[in-house]
Amino acid sequence: QVQLVESGGGLVQAGDSLTLSCAASGRTLSSYAMGWFRQAPGKPREWVATITSSDHTIYADAVKGRFTISRGNVKNTLYLQMNRLKPDDTAVYYCAADRSGATVFPNEYWGQGTQVTVSS
């Protein structure tokens, strides 16, 4: 069983930066695809970014060039560096992991989410 715990959310102003972390336990996740999703109030959950087991990174168009997904030196940590934040980035951000290391949309295991609020 894999447990994922997100942290690092908060209230920031437009243009600020924020880094989210996801701590994984229960397995060594270097062979897993891991990703970030987000859900704004009244909207469906949307995919943000993925890092595959080969460390290939993929981003949604809405965040490309502003967000960076990475694994920590200890492979069971996932990060999302968010720069030039916009009010539209306001959402609960979820970490996900998947044993299918090449999948673009990891969805096997989920964290509980961390709130990011960007004020204008």
| Region of residue 75 (phi > 0: left; psi between -120 and 50: alpha; otherwise: beta) | alpha
pLDDT of residue 93: 98
pLDDT digits (tens, 9 = 90+) for 22-69: 999 888 888 999 999 999 999 999 999 999 999 999 999 999 999 999
pLDDT of residue 75: 66
Mean pLDDT confidence for 97-103? 94
pLDDT of residue 72: 87
CA-based nearest residue to 51, from 102, 109, 107? 102
pLDDT digits (tens, 9 = 90+) for 67-94: 999 998 776 899 999 999 999 999 999 9
d(C-alpha 79, C-alpha 24), whole Å: 11
